[in-house]
Structure 1
Amino acid sequence: MSAERLDTLNSWRADWRGLRVAVLGLSVTGFSAADTLAELGAEVLVVTEKAEDEYARLLPVIGARLHVGPLDIVPTELEDFAPEVVVASPGFSPRHPLIVWALENGIALWGDIELAWRVRDKVVRADGTPADWVLVTGTNGKTTTTRLAATMLVAGGLRAAPVGNIGVPVLDAVRDPAGFDVLVVELSSHQLYYLGLQSGPQPVSPWAAVCLNLADDHLEWHGSFAAYRDAKAVVYNHTRVACVYNKADAATRAMVENADVVEGARAIGFDLGVPGPSDLGVVDGILVDRAFLAERATSALELTTVADLAAENLAAPHVVSNVLAASALARSLHVTPEAIRSALADFTLDPHRIEIVAVADGITWVDDSKATNPHAAASSLAAFPGAVWIVGGLLKGVDIAALVQARGAGAKAAIVIGADRSEIVSAFARHAPAVPLFEVDDAETENVMARVVELAADVAEDGDVVLLAPAAASFDQFASYADRGRRFAEAVTTRIAGQPQGEGSRDDDDAPDAGHPRSS
């Protein structure tokens, strides 16, 4: 297919019939792409290493073909299909053999976000225009900020939904017959990488966009920190109204300064300090907006207070930052401060995000299993200084030494789990040798958290916090970060239930026997 015809495919009502599209991967994202393309009349071949039974049964129903098998080389069926477009699910890295093959053969390479933008006019608003998009990315805080922004927009009277990497494919949202005013789209660096390849005449052009922060993550996928950073920066391209950035993170400011935006788009900063004009920040415990009001040079609008956020378990510093970022996005769409306060009064964090799972015998047990990289874990440790820190898993190519040096020395003790324990143990030996360190080397998933909790209970005292903030992915020992957090909570509950209330959690004369002490 010529590039000229591909350039015409910028509407649901364009002529997609007969377009040969290979969809790589059959997760929820891959299936949504295949389903959309089949509905448009394209010829669809789904190529995947494995397929869930439900999706495999549905593909022939919607009129798509399926190839299941090893993908270390390009399957003959894919070559014979001769796709004109390849739509890659986010799990396919730039160095995957199928991605390399597509690029080398000059085949148009899209992600699901590009496809969704092209067909976003399937359902339009009363004025005939499709929903506006607000884009959210960052190393940490994406999901919380996406949910916060969508909740604020709904409180402001808009039909809005959180979609994308949060779990609901954008393609499902653009095909929803009810339609939306705004889609708040959480984007991973993987999705942004593919979005950065787009070359059509109508690129994704969001109403507003934010990169919350930037730190080492997914380096094994991108190949380098520079490539990861550049993928994240794509979020600001062609923004029309508001580029929201973190004043405390110079990398996000640089992204905005270098972005190719629509003329008139404003840079809106946020952080926990006193805001300047065009910023959101905190003054004497009050979250304020100095960006979206006419008198911003001399005035500010109160959004909420840290005390009110504390009443909703939203006062951890990194969560306050997320609230400010989401508020900036919502204010760009004219949501009132009153609506923002109303939204925050009913908002709760997702499970496994600094979630208090139990308080017993003066010990607070906190599940932040979602802290899957050092940057996220650093925020948790800042919120709970002096905690008994449970750390470890798959480090994804990230060096944890800087986190241990900055925050590890303040821990009361550290309990190390997971496949990459040796790197963490070495980092403590170099940077925090005085911290009591225990290594749980049991590979059995069923036993790991029981042993961790036993160790933590032996170390913790009245007034202490035991914090699960692994700074690593979970897939070495658990099905997901949620599974890891759930097993931690279950182990805590089981231990508490197994001892009389009011009695100590251990015999102080007994040494812990659930791990290997590295220092004392």
Structure 2
Amino acid sequence: MLEFLRGRDVLVAGWGVSGRSLIEPLRDIGAHPVVTDAGAGALAEAAGLGLEVATSVELETADLSRYALVITSPGWRPDSPVLVNAVTAGIPVWGDVEFAWWVDQARLYGPVRKWLVITGTNGKTTTTNMTHAILRAAGIPSVACGNIGLPILDALRRNPGPQVLAVELSSFQLHWAPSVRPEAGVVLNVAEDHLDWHGGLDAYAAAKARALVGRVGVVGLDDPVAASLARKSKARRTVGFRIGVPADGELGVVDGKLLDRAFTKAAILAEVGDISPPGPSGVADALAAAALTRSIDVAPQFVREGLVEHRVGPHRAAFVRELAGVEFVDDSKATNPHAARSSILAHPSVVWVAGGQLKGAAVEDLVEEVAERLVGAVLIGVDAPIIAAALARHAPEVPVVEVQARDDATMKADAVMAEAVRLAAGFADSGDAVLLAPAAASLDMFADYTHRGRSFAEAVNALQESDIGRRS
């Protein structure tokens, strides 16, 4: 499948983490990579490594016939002018994941691996890490890769190489990877997110459904959109999981125990109390990881060992501190309303720190559902007014404060977060949780969601007991 690239030019569109991972495999195939990007700094870095480069502006209208293939970074939209120019010229456009799939199928770096693909609006990284923990417990050489941080191509090039890949894939990556046929794939849930990129919920869900085309497809039955994909699944076998009593062909929960009725008559996999993070979303992620690993015959004992070993990563409902009976929780990874919903519903009373870039997602249903749990809200970021308006409509009794950045040095992102945390602490009393669950992306103010989470934690750790509980 890759022989057509030998001796040919391949355009690498986007000089990010995925773009860098393409260079050595392309050279190993015998292709000649050419890098394009909109950023002058990115092109200078690539050129400094001896690579041929071209600006994306000049390629928008240039003759691209010299290229056998364009490999795009996942963030590039289908309507990006360079990609449109390539398609118009009849040049195939692949994503880096599509290329990695064919590199693996070609056995360029050893025997073909089993791919366990994880996607969904929320819970991808937690489920991927849980899956990897279970595989480790079973002694299976494996690696967590993809959208979680390690490019798949870098994972394939490891020596000794893994036998199984726990692959987190975003909707962008799946859009650009039509050939991937995983050993098993899961769609955890589907809620409004990245609608500006995909153009609507249907297209977004269709991208997610590309995980359900291999030997086993797994869907979250408690999520209506994910559950509906079971009927459209192209997997040879489709199973589901739910936070309740499982039917035949499902995984679920009975009397505080995770139970598999899909891959055996009935097998206890773990105790709910073993799961980190605690709460319904953590249990759902654990069931999904269990389904993926059970689909490749990992024994129940290793599922339990892996789930006991797993602990939630930073910025994912991570406990920061308790002060005067108030818990401070960093869920900066809750970058859309669906994720924020799960985070808020894990606490009986919440002072909500939220805001950022909503990316076209609606917050009305979220605010209406969680209104009774809110004792205060402090809003930051470009779309804070949208959240404030929803709170005014559905939770008019909840006190709301907006903290906006200013151009002067005293109110940059970290200073805004410090002020937001101080105000949130003032709304809180003993028994409350001050929860950073932004329901929005971070790039309007912060470098990324990890920067936002660190900023929150630093502000929390600077608080004094006298800052707590000034609400009447």
Letter in 1 for 2:339: A
Structure 1 residue aligned with 2:342: 379
Q: Deviations over 1:10-35 (max 9, x none)?
A: xxxx4632122111000010111133
1:131 aligns to 2:113 (yes or no): yes
Aligned-pair CA distance for 1:506: 5.0
Letter in 1 for 2:209: A
- For residues 94-109 of structure 1, what are the structure 2 equivalents within 5 Å? 94-109=78-93
1:466 aligns to 2:434 (yes or no): yes
- Identity percentage of aligned residues: 43
Q: Which shows bigger deviation, 336-345 or 135-144?
A: 336-345
Letter in 1 for 2:272: V
**Distance in 1 between residues matched to 2:259 and 2:28, nearest whole Å:** 46
Structure 2 residue aligned with 1:220: 196
**Distance in 2 between residues matched to 1:166 and 1:81, nearest whole Å:** 34
Tell me, what secondary structure is at the counterpart of 1:195?
Answer: coil
**Distance in 2 between residues matched to 1:416 and 1:379, nearest whole Å:** 18
Structure 1 residue aligned with 2:185: 209
**Distance in 2 between residues matched to 1:403 and 1:364, nearest whole Å:** 22
Aligned-pair CA distance for 1:59: 5.4
1:66 aligns to 2:29 (yes or no): no
Query: Is 1:404–1:427's contact at 8 Å kept on the other side of the alignment?
Result: yes
Structure 1 residue aligned with 2:127: 145
Query: Is 2:249–2:262's contact at 8 Å kept on the other side of the alignment?
Result: yes
Structure 2 residue aligned with 1:188: 170
Cα RMSD after superposing both structures: 1.9
Tell me, what secondary structure is at the counterpart of 2:5?
Answer: coil
Letter in 2 for 1:74: L
**Distance in 2 between residues matched to 1:328 and 1:351, nearest whole Å:** 25
Aligned-pair CA distance for 1:88: 0.6
Q: Could you say if the C-alpha distance between residues 507 and 34 of structure 1 is closer, same or farther in structure 2, counting changes exceeding 3 Å?
A: closer
**Distance in 1 between residues matched to 2:452 and 2:166, nearest whole Å:** 28
Structure index of larger Rg: 1
Structure 2 residue aligned with 1:16: 5
Q: Could you say if the C-alpha distance between residues 506 and 362 of structure 1 is closer, same or farther in structure 2, counting changes exceeding 3 Å?
A: closer
Tell me, what secondary structure is at the counterpart of 2:269?
Answer: strand
Q: Deviations over 1:123-180 (max 9, x none)?
A: 33xxxx4111111100000011011111101211211111101111111112223111
Query: Is 1:26–1:51's contact at 8 Å kept on the other side of the alignment?
Result: no
1:28 aligns to 2:14 (yes or no): no
Letter in 2 for 1:335: V
Aligned-pair CA distance for 1:398: 1.0
Aligned-pair CA distance for 1:52: 5.3
Structure 1 residue aligned with 2:353: 390
Query: Is 1:270–1:281's contact at 8 Å kept on the other side of the alignment?
Result: yes
**Distance in 1 between residues matched to 2:468 and 2:393, nearest whole Å:** 31
Q: Which of 204, 207, 229 is equivalent to 1:231?
A: 207
Tell me, what secondary structure is at the counterpart of 1:474?
Answer: coil
Query: Is 1:409–1:434's contact at 8 Å kept on the other side of the alignment?
Result: no
Q: Provide TM-score, normalisation by structure 2.
A: 0.94
Structure 1 residue aligned with 2:33: 44
Q: Which runs of 5+ in 2 are unaligned?
A: 407-411
Query: Is 2:429–2:469's contact at 8 Å kept on the other side of the alignment?
Result: no
Q: Could you say if the C-alpha distance between residues 207 and 507 of structure 1 is closer, same or farther in structure 2, counting changes exceeding 3 Å?
A: closer
**Distance in 2 between residues matched to 1:405 and 1:67, nearest whole Å:** 50
Tell me, what secondary structure is at the counterpart of 2:420?
Answer: helix
Tell me, what secondary structure is at the counterpart of 1:302?
Answer: strand
Structure 2 residue aligned with 1:252: 226
Letter in 1 for 2:190: L
Query: Is 1:409–1:435's contact at 8 Å kept on the other side of the alignment?
Result: no
**Distance in 1 between residues matched to 2:326 and 2:233, nearest whole Å:** 47
Q: Deviations over 1:34-55 (max 9, x none)?
A: 33212221121110012656x8
Structure 2 residue aligned with 1:490: 458
Query: Is 1:38–1:64's contact at 8 Å kept on the other side of the alignment?
Result: no
Letter in 1 for 2:253: V
Q: Deviations over 1:290-349 (max 9, x none)?
A: 1112xx2xxx2111112233xxx4322101100000011111111112112211222111
1:505 aligns to 2:456 (yes or no): no
The aligned length equals 465
Tell me, what secondary structure is at the counterpart of 2:176?
Answer: helix
Letter in 2 for 1:427: A
Structure 1 residue aligned with 2:144: 162
**Distance in 1 between residues matched to 2:239 and 2:40, nearest whole Å:** 43
Query: Is 1:211–1:246's contact at 8 Å kept on the other side of the alignment?
Result: yes
**Distance in 2 between residues matched to 1:108 and 1:322, nearest whole Å:** 36
1:287 aligns to 2:287 (yes or no): no
Structure 2 residue aligned with 1:517: none
**Distance in 2 between residues matched to 1:51 and 1:117, nearest whole Å:** 30
Q: Deviations over 1:61-115 (max 9, x none)?
A: 4x631124x63x6356x53663221101011011211122122222101001111
Structure 2 residue aligned with 1:481: 449
Letter in 1 for 2:141: R
Aligned-pair CA distance for 1:56: 4.6
**Distance in 1 between residues matched to 2:268 and 2:93, nearest whole Å:** 46
**Distance in 1 between residues matched to 2:20 and 2:176, nearest whole Å:** 17
Letter in 2 for 1:138: G
Structure 2 residue aligned with 1:5: none
**Distance in 2 between residues matched to 1:79 and 1:168, nearest whole Å:** 34
Structure 1 residue aligned with 2:409: none
Aligned-pair CA distance for 1:254: 2.8
Tell me, what secondary structure is at the counterpart of 1:119?
Answer: helix
Structure 1 residue aligned with 2:103: 119
**Distance in 1 between residues matched to 2:404 and 2:46, nearest whole Å:** 42
Structure 2 residue aligned with 1:456: 424
Structure 2 residue aligned with 1:366: 329
Tell me, what secondary structure is at the counterpart of 1:47?
Answer: strand
Letter in 2 for 1:94: P
**Distance in 2 between residues matched to 1:506 and 1:210, nearest whole Å:** 42
**Distance in 1 between residues matched to 2:198 and 2:12, nearest whole Å:** 21
Tell me, what secondary structure is at the counterpart of 2:462?
Answer: helix
Q: Which of 230, 243, 255 is equivalent to 1:272?
A: 243
Structure 1 residue aligned with 2:160: 178
Q: Provide TM-score, normalisation by structure 1.
A: 0.86
**Distance in 2 between residues matched to 1:506 and 1:174, nearest whole Å:** 50
1:303 aligns to 2:269 (yes or no): yes
Tell me, what secondary structure is at the counterpart of 2:67?
Answer: coil
